[in-house]
Each structure stands twice: as structure tokens, then as C-alpha cells.
Structure 1
Amino acid sequence: MTIALLLLGFYAVFVWLIFYKFKLLKFNIAWGIVSFWIGFHVLFLLVVFLRFYAPYTIDGHVIRQTIQIAPRLPHPTLLTEVFVSQNQPVKKGEKLYQFDTTLYEAQLAEAQANLVEAEQNALILQENIVLAQDALLEAQANETFAEEQVKRYTDLVPRGGARQETLDQWTAQLASAKAQTAEAQANVKKAQLAAEAQIDGVNAQVAAAQAQVDQAQYYVDQTTIYAPEDGKIISQQARPGLVVGGFRIAAIAAFVADADPYFLATFYQEHLKFVEPGQPVEVALDIYPGQIFAGTVKAIWEGTGQGQIKPSGTVPNFLFMHPQGRFAVEIDLDQDPALKRFPGGAHGAVAIYTSGGGAWVTALRKINLRLYAWINFIVPFDV
């Protein structure tokens, strides 16, 4: 819009000089129509060339990665200490917050005790196998003795060497011994099955107890929150006395990372017709009035939310009159590729030079961008 107004102004001055100042031509209705027709077409062509060969936007922003600091605690837990102050730079691994550990340390101690008990029970299961095997040997010996006695008295009774009642007693004793042997065999099998209940070679009860210990230790560790990487917390609102956990699902702070910031500028879709990665870019940031930062196009994010239909039970409602979504262009700035000088959310204007349309297109757009940069000294008018 600025460049269009400037062009109209220059053309109006040109017409004034021709018809009124130097009076090279006499102004009349015919010349008025011709002047308007020429001015309109010149302006139209200039605007078209600028839009496509030197696209421009005032919607550029520095984007910084953020990490939501959300305590992962299952019970309402008191925040006891805050180690970070407002806007304080921190390194990866430094302490940020400390929560009360009393409940979680008690749960850990209980889980550790259960683990020791499970390990002892696993040893007892091995001893139960030995005892069951000894009982089986005893039952088998009794059965063998009873069989010998039955055979002996079976030979003696017909010859009158023993009474029938004695043979009947040993026959009953043999049946009882066989039952005891079968029971002992079942007890051995039972003891072996109990001992063989394992997960990856570890007794199942021991594995379950170890999982409880690991879970309890995890929650003890979660009572201390450390910096996930280098960065800072911009708005430090958490204070000792804050209770988290239980039903709380929101984060208590936003951690702004130092690493991997990027600069995005959004353009109308048709303006990106000739834009490609590697083309030169200039950026005018509002926080640096009067300065121009050079860069290059890194990538075009060819997609918007309007290109996505989320799975749901609702029939999509297509709003054809809804304004088109813009495409974002990621830009690398030459002076500071890591964007260390620029805070997240820094806003500015961006011009991309496709080299099409001639040098005059680039020159006009550069004038446009520099006007934006210098006018930032006085706009907005909030002195």
C-alpha cells in the first residue's frame, strides 16, 4: 500500500508539472482521460510485478521452541522450593522446582520392602520343591514297602503261614501309600510350577515387586524438576505453597529453549508463485527501527489448517467465503543464523526478491521495506 501511494504521488506530481507548472500541454477532458488511463495501467502493472516478483508481508515473527513444565505426580503435592527467578538463563540439568518428597519416599520404602519379601518368597519356592521331592521319596518308599509286604503275605496266607486279616491290612496300606505317592507327585509339580512362574528368567512376584520399586522411584525423581535444555522461564509465577498433582493437568510454567529458533513470514498463496528456496530476503524488525537484515529463503511451508479435516462424527462445513489461509516461509538470517539477538515473538516486515521483472522491481520493493523500517521510529504514536 505504501509503495502504491508513493507511485500515485509521483505520477500526480508528474501530471502537475506537465500541465500546470511548465504548461507543456493544455489540460482538457481528453488529456484528463488519457492521463487517468495511463496512470491506472502503470500503477496496475507495477502492483502486479511487485506482488509476484518481490512479494512482501508485514507478518513476520521470530519463533522460539517452548517446553511445557508440567509436574508428573499422581497425588496432590506441595511445591516447597523454587530455584529459578524471573527471566534467569539456566543450563540443561539445573534445578527448577522441588516438591515435597515425604509421600513418595514412603511409597518407595514400602515397595523396596515388598521386593525383599518377594525375593525371599522366591527362595522359599525353591526350598518347597526340595521338601516336596523328599516327601515324594518317602511316599514312594512306603509304597514299595507295602508292595513287598502284600507279596509276602499273599504267598504265606494260602500255606497257613499268616492270617488273611494281615494280608488285608497290608493291601489297604498299599492303596493308601499309592495315594500318598500320587499326592506327593502333585505337590512336587505344584512347587515346580510356582517356581517356574517367571518373566525373562525372573520370578513373577519379584518382577512385579521390582516394577513397583521402579514406579515409586520414578515419582520420587519427579519431585525435582530440572531444566530440559538451555533456556529460561519468561514468566515465573509458581511459588512455594502451590499444590500440583492429582487432577491438575496444566503446566506450571513455559520454558523457552535457546536452541533451534526460526523466523517465519506468512504470504498470500498467489504471491509465492515464483518463490523458491535460496532466494535473497530482507527483513525489517520492529525492535530495530531503521535496520535491515539480509537473509535467504530456507523453505516454504506448503500447508495450512484449511487443508486438514480432523476425524469426527460431524459432517464438514465448508465455508467457501472464508478468507484463504496463508503459507509460511521459513527464512535464514545471515547476520545471526541462531537468532540469539532476537527474542521470541519479534515482529517485522519481509520482502523476497525473486529476480524477476527487472531491477526496478527490486529497487521499488527495497524502498518500500526501508520506509517501513524508518517509520518504526515514530509508529505507533504512543508517546
Structure 2
Amino acid sequence: MLLGFVLLFAYGFIVWLVFFKLRWLKFSIAWGFFSTFFVLHLMIIFLIGLRYVTPTSTEARVIQHTIQLTPRLSEPTLVTAVLVEPNVHVKKGTPLFQFDRRIYEAKVRQLEAQLAQATQNVLIMKADIQVTSEKIIKLKSELDYASYQEKLSVNLAKRGAGPEEDAQKWGAQVAANSAAIKEAQAEEQRSRLKYQSEIGGVNTTVASIQAELDQARFYLDNTLMVAPEDGYIINLQVRPGMVSGDVRFGAIASFICDADRFVLAQFFQENLKYVKPGQPVELALDLYPGQIWSGRVKAVWQGSGAGQMLPSGMLPNFNAVPGETPQGQFAVAITLDDPDQAKFPIGTQGRAAIYTSTSSSFDVLRKVAIRSYTWYNWLYPFSL
């Protein structure tokens, strides 16, 4: 930049000396055209230096993370109380909205009763196994007795000492006892399978009801919505009597977080040639006329929507872009040095200047330009 100033002042001194002081030549229209042409070419030095060494953005905005507060409830639920005021700062965990708890409390009580019953049924199934085992032992004893009586009746009938009907009767009894034993054994196996049906060492019926109970308790806990982080709500529209929870993607309020606030500035692509994370930044925010805020480059966003191609069955259609059409811009994330981030509401806009070199004399011109802008904000826009 110094070379540009030297050349500019040197040429001005020569013109003054030759045409006005010593009057060696007459200053004509041709000489005026040549001088203008020469000076304009010298100004290119300052233009290039300011664009690449100290790039500036005319569109910088304070960006903040927001959380869409959506009720996590299983069915339409009445809002019974609004426990927060709009634009009032709250801490993480502060109650915000209370929903009707009655239907969820009833569901929890119902499942608690079912869980107690299922737990008791496990003990009953264990006792059923024991009962069936004893029944099998009894039936086997009866089978042994019936088999003995059948054999005795058959021998007596062969010798003519007893009726043939007794032998047939005890044969039928043996068959009945054998079938009863098989039936009891099947019942025992069924009871044992029910009792031994486990997942993770817990009976499957108990585990299933426990899972339903945990889900019901989850919904019951969510009848009280609390602040997910430190922050505040703006444009609060929720009122008691409102029904929510029927549409899962429908948020009832927007929560503005305090943490991780940053400025997003848009730059022309070629101006970012030398921009790197960590470089110093100055910001002139329209909210604070006459003030300059310092910051640092956090990141240069690597891409924009102009380069995105969405999956579809259509082939890309490339059209020539007119040369006068403005080119796309890239965004640069900037962190502010001021520890009190509450000074910078979400959406605050202004201008940003990045200083890519700590020893460049172009910084002076950029500092003058951005300070002129912030002082001009005292008057613009004109309103009374």
C-alpha cells in the first residue's frame, strides 16, 4: 500500500511541478485524460489490497441455537399451566409448561397393578409345576396298582376263579392312567416352559409389562416440560386450555439458548483466499452505533446450497449463467470476544471485517471504513 501512496503522490507532485509551478507544458484535455487513467490504475492497488488482505462483509448476523419445544406425549393432552414468562431468562431444568397428568397417572397405576399380578403369576407357575409333578407321581402309583389288578384279574379269569369283566375293567383303567400320566406330563412341560420363558433373567411377561410401565412413566414425567438449557422463550403463545401432543412435529414454543452464540458473515468467494480460523475480526453492529466489537474467525463454511444436487430421477440441467449475475457467497462463522453474550440478541445484523495479516498497512484503511460505517448508523436510516 505504501508503494501505491508513493506513486500517487509522486505523480501528483510531478504534474504540479511541470504544469503549474514551472509551466514547462500546458495542461490539456489529453494530459487530463492520461492523468485520470494513470490514477485509476494506481487505485487498483488499494482495491485489491482491501479485498484480499482485509475482506469485508456487508451482511453479518448474530446466530443462536434454538430448540423447538415439542411435547413428547402419547396422545392429545391439555395444557394446565404456563410456568414461564416470555423474554425472562431461565436456568436449565426450570419448569416451563405443565400438562394434564391424570390420564398418564391412571396408565401408570394400571400397569403397576399388572406388573404386580405378573410377578405373582410367576410364583403361581412355579407352584403349578410342583403340583403337576406330584400329580404325575400319584398317577404313576395308580397305574402301578391298576397294572397289578389287571394282571391278577387276568390270571384269575384264566383259572376260572374270577370274572372276565374284572380283567377288562382293570385293563381299561391301566390305559386311562397311562393317558392321564401323559396329559399331566404335557401340563408340567407347558408350565415349565411358561415359568422358564425369560429374557435377561426376567420372565418375559414381567419384562413386557415392565417395559410398558417404563414408557408410561416416561410420558408421565414429560407432562412437566422443563428448560433444556439456560436461555429464554420469545413470542410465547401457549395458554392454559390449549391441547397439544397430538402432532409430534408441532412445536409449541421456541427456546433461545445462551451458549455457543456466534456471528455468521457472508463473503464473496474470491475474498476468502487468505482467510483462516483464528484471524482477528472487527464488527460494526447496527444495534450499537459508534461501537466496534472484536472477534475471531471460527470457521469458513466449506460449501453453499449452490453446489448441492438432490437425488432424483431427473438428469442435471446445466444452463449458462449471465456474467452480470452476482456470484454465490460463502459464510464465515465468527466468535465474539465480549464475555457478556447477552448484549447480542439473535438476528442482530451489521458488517464484519477480517484482518488476514497483522503487519499490513491496508488494515488502517479498513479500520477507517468500518468505523465510518458504525458512526454513520447514528443518522441512517433517517427517521424522526
Distance 1:175 1:196 in 2: 31
Matched residue of 1:97: which SS? strand
Correspondences of 1:239-318 after superposition (within 5 Å): 239-247=239-247, 249-318=249-318
Residue number in structure 1 paired with 2:197: 197
Cα distance change on mapping 1:279 and 1:247 into 2, 3 Å: closer
How far residue 260 of structure 1 moved from its aligned partner, in angstroms, is 1.5
Residue number in structure 1 paired with 2:332: 329
Residue number in structure 2 paired with 1:211: 211
Pick aligned residue for 2:351 from 342, 345, 349: 349
Contact 1:146 1:171 in 2 (8 A): yes
Give runs of ≥4 in structure 1 deviating > 6 Å: none
Distance 2:369 2:20 in 1: 30
Distance 1:134 1:314 in 2: 75
Distance 2:247 2:204 in 1: 32
Residue number in structure 1 paired with 2:379: 378
Distance 1:214 1:359 in 2: 64
Cα distance change on mapping 1:169 and 1:248 into 2, 3 Å: closer
Cα distance change on mapping 1:253 and 1:283 into 2, 3 Å: same
Cα distance change on mapping 1:192 and 1:323 into 2, 3 Å: farther
Contact 2:234 2:255 in 1 (8 A): yes
Cα distance change on mapping 1:125 and 1:338 into 2, 3 Å: farther
Contact 2:71 2:248 in 1 (8 A): no
Q: Deviations over 1:288-314 (max 9, x none)?
A: 211122232222221222233333444
Residue number in structure 1 paired with 2:149: 149
The amino acid that maps onto 1:87 is N
Residue number in structure 1 paired with 2:86: 86
Percentage identity across aligned positions? Answer: 45
How far residue 146 of structure 1 moved from its aligned partner, in angstroms, is 2.1
Distance 2:320 2:141 in 1: 93
Residue number in structure 2 paired with 1:3: none
Contact 2:262 2:336 in 1 (8 A): no
How far residue 164 of structure 1 moved from its aligned partner, in angstroms, is 3.4
Distance 1:59 1:170 in 2: 104
Q: Deviations over 1:63-82 (max 9, x none)?
A: 11111111122322221211
How far residue 91 of structure 1 moved from its aligned partner, in angstroms, is 0.9
Q: Deviations over 1:191-218 (max 9, x none)?
A: 1112122222222222222222222222
Alpha carbon RMSD of aligned pairs, Å?
2.7
How far residue 340 of structure 1 moved from its aligned partner, in angstroms, is 3.4
TM-score by length of 1: 0.87
How far residue 280 of structure 1 moved from its aligned partner, in angstroms, is 2.1
The amino acid that maps onto 2:375 is W
The amino acid that maps onto 1:367 is V
Distance 2:319 2:261 in 1: 34
The amino acid that maps onto 2:235 is S
Contact 1:63 1:263 in 2 (8 A): yes
Contact 1:87 1:234 in 2 (8 A): yes
Correspondences of 1:24-43 after superposition (within 5 Å): 26-43=26-43
Matched residue of 1:84: which SS? coil
Q: Which moved more, 1:276-285 or 1:116-125?
A: 116-125
How far residue 124 of structure 1 moved from its aligned partner, in angstroms, is 2.1
Contact 1:261 1:338 in 2 (8 A): no
Residue number in structure 2 paired with 1:365: 366
How far residue 113 of structure 1 moved from its aligned partner, in angstroms, is 2.2
Correspondences of 1:97-176 after superposition (within 5 Å): 97-176=97-176
Distance 2:316 2:296 in 1: 38
Cα distance change on mapping 1:258 and 1:320 into 2, 3 Å: farther
How far residue 367 of structure 1 moved from its aligned partner, in angstroms, is 1.4
Distance 1:248 1:281 in 2: 42
Give unmatched runs, 5+ long, in structure 2: none
Give unmatched runs, 5+ long, in structure 1: 1-6
